[in-house]
Each structure stands twice: as structure tokens, then as C-alpha cells.
Amino acid sequence: MRASKLLSPLLLALLLPLAPVLAKPEAASRSALVLAPTEIQAEAARWAAQFLSRSRYHYAPQKLDDALSSQVFDRYLRSLDGDRLFLLAEDVERFEAYRLALDDAILEGRLSPAFEIFNVYRQRVTERTRSARQMLKGDWDFDTEQTYSFDRKEAAWAASEEELDALWRLRVKNDILRLRLAGREMDAVRETLDRRYRNLGERIRQIDAEDVFQTFMNAYGATIEPHTAYMNPRTSENFNISMRLSLEGIGAVLSRNDEEFTVVRSVVPGGPAALSGQIKPGDRILGVGQGEDGPIVDVVGWRLDDVVDLIRGPKDSIVRLDVLPAEAGLDGEHVILNLSRQRVKLEEQAAKKQVIELGEGEGARRVGVIALPAFYQDFEGRRRDEPDYRSATRDVARLLAELKEEGVEGVVIDLRNNGGGSLTEAVELTGLFIDQGPVVQVQDASRRVSVERDRQAGKAWEGPLAVLINRASASASEIFAGAIQDYGRGLIVGEPTFGKGTVQNLVDLDLFARENPGLGHLKITVAQFFRVGGDSTQHRGVVPDIAFPVTWDASEYGESVHENALPWASIEPAKFERYGDFSPLRAELQQRHAARVAEDQEFQWWMEDVAEFRRLRESREISLNESTRRSERDRDQARREAREAQRTALGTAPVAAEPAEDALDDGLQADERPVDSVADADSEAADVLLREAAHLLVDAIDLLRADARLAARVIRKPDAMLAE
């Protein structure tokens, strides 16, 4: 057996969070109505079982037996029909014969059960789309008091065609109402929705055997652990494109939400979407057109990769997007945007600085801020030992030197929405604030522990430090923030982080192919990160010293959403010397924070938005009464206009963050994350959360300067000038 060519597990694990908009290559015609597995897929399944059931390869392997087969069965059905809108109870009852047989099917390469289930599912989708198109021709009453429940994950399977018809009448009615509220005439509404439902039927017929096999194998992989996945050859190539950062598109991360919209999850720094200022997280893409005047294709309900196909294209070409802005609500007006596709420039992703001034006149306080969007590195430049290769650590060190020259009292490192990057950068960046020592511990599948250390003497910044995090701070961000917290080197402020503390690696199954290539890749979890204090970042994430209201809690988004995520764990602490302990300050800092934000209008608005956003997420149904929906939309619009009027009267700029619309964790892109809108780091007006983080750092400085005894309890190393 040939040795597996594995990417560095640590490097790969921290690069995985970046999954920008990519497209699959042009597919061949896929018109067959009945799909069947191939011998190549059978061989790939057998090899996958070998890797995923042995501790030699996987960090948390599981025996492929009847118990696991039952879980794979349930997960596969959820992946096909998660809202239970297509399959009938009698279909599922017939499939039950396979519940305890899928383990043998995988081990023996007999994949016909998975394909039989899919073929029935495809037949039901075809029937439903045909029925929905017929329903459009009828008359509709929007004055009645009805509601549509768009979350049916726990609902019973429909017992009959009639029950499904009733469910779909509500669904179609909601689709019609949305377009009416957007200003469409009824004839145009029927035309748009007829095309949408027809396209849904056509797309389901275009799914090929590779798609089915990948979906089934991902159900198997995700049953073991959320970040274990199978990638067919086409998906593998797209992943390779993303790893090379060869991006020609709009530079955005997309997902699909419960309402079947394509949602902008985040914008890639330096990409066309970010630079245009026209696209932000939470925006929903309803249609895509080519060129400055090409027709816009309705993409509501489309598969995500099909939408990506339309958005990605040649450099300098124009893509037109029909966008429903996040702040407009579900029934708001659409906006047509033209964007020029470009390559993402590394320079635009680089760390940026600004100085926040708190107070006025001689008493003004100056706090430096460094916004770091990713832990980036020019790997090729470093390999070639180029003297000026780009890296996050080098850029931050340069910015720290500039902030010193500008006379700032303290520095805030803004890691919000930073999903990770290079482990080397996480370690070396930590080294800018500590004088040598361990940064993170890594435990492999054999439970051997290695320690990644900062070996560079000296510190680039010895003064007061705070780190701002949120739920979208993941992977390398958690390593850095956790180390700063364990050392007591800085104050951690914001929301609990994502909680991904595992390491993934890619296995090229073609290296084990007996005859024909094309088996694809496995992404498997091979190790776990632990902080220098011994705690894992897994599941719990990094908990801030001073917490802001959470936009996304553990039940909605993050590692803990997955019922089969690896549990939190701990190991022996590494040997290191703490710089300080902020716990004696927390009560007073929390009290000052509460008093200040109570008087901060922008912060109050932000908390109102978070509360409303969470209320809408918890409510899984929507009114089908047109008057009710219009009044809700008008209320939201009036609220936004009143805020803008008040900002204008006060002479302030809008800086509050709007919560993102959707969260979705889909296995391969498990670290893609919902993102709040963040003020540009070059802007003179810092956003409300960043400004409050700066206030808290100044509070800590003042408390330590005013009380020598307190400072002695907080500062443990004489050279740790936390209160300079």
C-alpha cells in the first residue's frame, strides 16, 4: 500500500474556515431518471469505512454497526428532506427495511439502498413541483388568518397526498405573498413562481450519481463527527481552488436558509463584494444575471452549488444580483446590484489599524485597534525564505510599532468574524505579546501531546491589551484568544467563540485505488487542540472576561449545535508563567460597562436588534394575512427611518451592527459562520462594540493605576506592563 499524501493536519485545520464562493465545473448531461451506484463508488465506500472506523486514522472512530447504521439512516433522510415536504409516511416506512442494513451496504460496497431512497425522493419532488405549478393557477385569499410553519424538522411525515397538498398550499401562498409585498403584479408573481417550481423539478433531475453518493457518504461521516466528510472528485477540485485562493467571483461565503434563500454568510476581505460596500452579511440573493443587462434568473430554492455556478465567472465580467437586504426584512423591497468579478487580493485581507479617541480635550484617551480578518501567510514566500513575505504576524508587528509612535495607551485586537488561518501565525502572533512559551497543545489520535511554542525572545507590545471576539471567531482565533487569556496577558471581551477545537486532514482515496482513479477525498478529524491551561476550545469555545449580549447562542450556532460534536475535555496544563489575572477586576468592569451602555443609544439599538433577531429566529411560523405582513414591514421600516433621523439630528454616523440572517453548518463548510456587519477598520467612526471594548480597556487601566494593592493582585510578572 502506498503512503498517503496528507496535507499538514495543523495547517489544513486552520485553513478550512475560508470557503469562499466557488463553482463546480460544467457537468455533463444528467438526464437519467433512475440513478445507480458505480463500482468506483463502491470501492470508495469500502475505503472510507476503513479510515473512519479505526483509531489509527480518526481521532474519534466509531465501529460501523447496526447502531451507527440507524443514525446514518436518519441523517440521510434529513439531508434529503429535512423539512418533510416531499416524502410520504409510507415511503419512510418502506425505507425502514434499510435502517439496520446501511452498515453492511457500506462495508460491502452495496450502495443500492441509498440510491433507491434517493430515486423515490426525486420522484416525490417531481410530483410536488408539478402540483405546485398547478396550484398557482387558482385564486388566493390573503385576508384570512392563516400561518405557515417553515420549520418542520420535527414534524410527522405526511400520511397522504392530500396532507402534502395542504402543506404545499400554505407554502405556495407564502411565496405568492412575498412577491406581492415586493411590489409584483399577480401575473408576474405567477410567472416567476411557475418558473421557480419548474426549475426545481429540472434541477432535481440533473443530480447525478456522484451527488447522491457524496450526500450519502456525508451522512455517514457527519454521524461520526461534524467535521468528517467525503468529497467527490468535483468537490475536491473546488476545495483545492479555495485552498489556492484562486478566486474569480464576488468574494462572498453563501449558505441556504430555512426559507430556501441563498444568504450571504460573510464577505471575503478584499473581494469585490467587500470593496463595493453593496453586499453585507444577511443579504439574501433572489436572482442572478450575467452582464450589465442580462436577464436575471430566479434562484430561490436552488441548490447552493448551482447558485454559485451562476455567480462565479471570468475576471472583470459583470454579475447582476437581485438582493433582498438583511435590514429590509422578508417582505422588503429588492435591490439590483452590478458587481465586477475579480481576484481576491491578499493585500486587502491584511490587518488594519485605527485609533479610537475616548473623551474630548486634554482628557481624551487614545486606544489603538488592529482588525485582523484572518491568520494569513504567504506560504510559498516563506518556503522560499523571501525576506519580505506577507504574514499576519509581520503586519501586526509593524502596526504595533506605528501605534507606539502614535502614543496609544492600549491596544485592542479585533478578531470578530476571524475564522482562522495558519497555525504558525496564531503561535507567532501570540509571541508578539508574550516573551517565549507554549501557545497551544495538540493531542493526536494516539493521544500523544505535542506543544506549539513561541520561541522568539521579547515582545512587540508590552502595554495594556484587549481582544474582541464573537461567536464567529474560530479555530486560530480561539488559539490566540485562549492563550492570551490563560497567560493573563490581556482582557477578553465580546461573545463566546465558535468552539471548534479539532484538527482535520485530507486523505486522497485515489492513492488506494485498485484499478480506476476517481475515488475522491476524505476529510477526517485527526487531532484536538488544547489551551496551555489544559482546557479544550472544543464545544465551549473561549468565554470572554466581559460578555456582550450574544447574537448567536450555543443552541443556534457553533460547534455545540451538533449533537455528536466531540465533548469538551481537558489535559494536563503546559508549563508556563502567567502574566496576570483579571478576575479581581471583573465585577467593577462589568458594573462600569452596564452603566455606560445604558446611556449609549447606539448600543441600546444594537441590543434591540439582537433581541428582535432572536425573537424572529425562535418563531418558526409566519402570518399569511397580507395586512399583518404589511404592518410588520412598515413597522420595521419606520423604526429604521426613526433611527436614521435621530442619528442625523445628533450628527452621528450609523455604526450599529445588524445580526446576520442565517446560520448553517453543512459539514465541509463547517467553519463558515454568520457575521455581523463590521465598520471598516479605516473608518474614523468605530462601531459600537469596538468602542465599548476600548472603554473597557481604559477602565482596566484606570483601576490598576488607582489602586496599587489591586494592581499587585492582577499583575504577576514585574515586566508585564499591563497598566503602563
Q: What grid cell was written down for 40? A: 468506483
At 605, which amino acid appears? W
Please tell me which residue in 486, 545, 671, 687 is annotated as part of the active site. Answer: 486
Between CA 473 and CA 464 the distance in angstroms is 22
Asked about 475 being catalytic, the answer comes back as: yes
What angle do the packed helices 601-618 and 688-706 form, to 10 degrees? Answer: 120
- List Cβ neighbours of 64 (8 Å cut-off, separation of 6 or more): 49, 52, 53, 103, 106, 107
Asked about 662 being catalytic, the answer comes back as: no
Asked about 486 being catalytic, the answer comes back as: yes
Note whether 252 and 273 are within 8 A (CB).
yes
- Using DSSP, state whether 285 is helix, strand or coil: strand
Between CA 709 and CA 702 the distance in angstroms is 13
- List Cβ neighbours of 461 (8 Å cut-off, separation of 6 or more): 400, 404, 411, 432, 433
Q: Which residues of 542-554 are buried (b: 16+ CB within 10 A; e: fewer)?
A: bebbbebebbbeb
Between CA 106 and CA 119 the distance in angstroms is 18
Residue 421's beta-bridge partner residues?
375
Note whether 363 and 354 are within 8 A (CB).
no
Between CA 80 and CA 76 the distance in angstroms is 6
Between CA 121 and CA 211 the distance in angstroms is 14
Note whether 678 and 657 are within 8 A (CB).
yes
* Residue spans of beta strands (DSSP E) within 382-448: 410-414, 437-444
Between CA 390 and CA 102 the distance in angstroms is 49
Note whether 602 and 650 are within 8 A (CB).
no
What does the CA dihedral 41, 103, 668, 314 come to, rounded to 10 degrees? 20
Q: What is residue 344's DSSP assignment?
A: P
Element (H, E) at 497: none
Q: What grid cell was written down for 221? A: 461521516
Between CA 292 and CA 288 the distance in angstroms is 11
User: What separation in angstroms does the CA of 524 have from each of 48, 57, 235, 566, 713?
Assistant: 10, 8, 15, 13, 45
Question: Comparing C-alpha atoms, which of 512, 514, 518 is closest to residue 237?
Answer: 518
338: left (phi over 0), alpha (psi -120 to 50) or beta: beta
Q: What is residue 565's DSSP assignment?
A: S
What are phi and psi for residue 442, nearest 5 degrees? -125, 125
Between CA 128 and CA 122 the distance in angstroms is 10
Between CA 235 and CA 243 the distance in angstroms is 12
Between CA 580 and CA 311 the distance in angstroms is 50
Element (H, E) at 400: helix 392-405
Residue 378's beta-bridge partner residues?
none
Q: Which residues of 116-128 are buried (b: 16+ CB within 10 A; e: fewer)?
A: bbbbbbbbbbbeb
Please tell me which residue in 280, 352, 459, 500 is annotated as part of the active site. Answer: 500
Please tell me which residue in 69, 391, 475, 536 is annotated as part of the active site. Answer: 475
User: What separation in angstroms does the CA of 51 have from each of 24, 179, 202, 500, 529?
Assistant: 27, 49, 36, 22, 21
- Using DSSP, state whether 561 is helix, strand or coil: helix
Residue 413's beta-bridge partner residues?
370, 467
Residues identified as active-site: 475, 486, 500
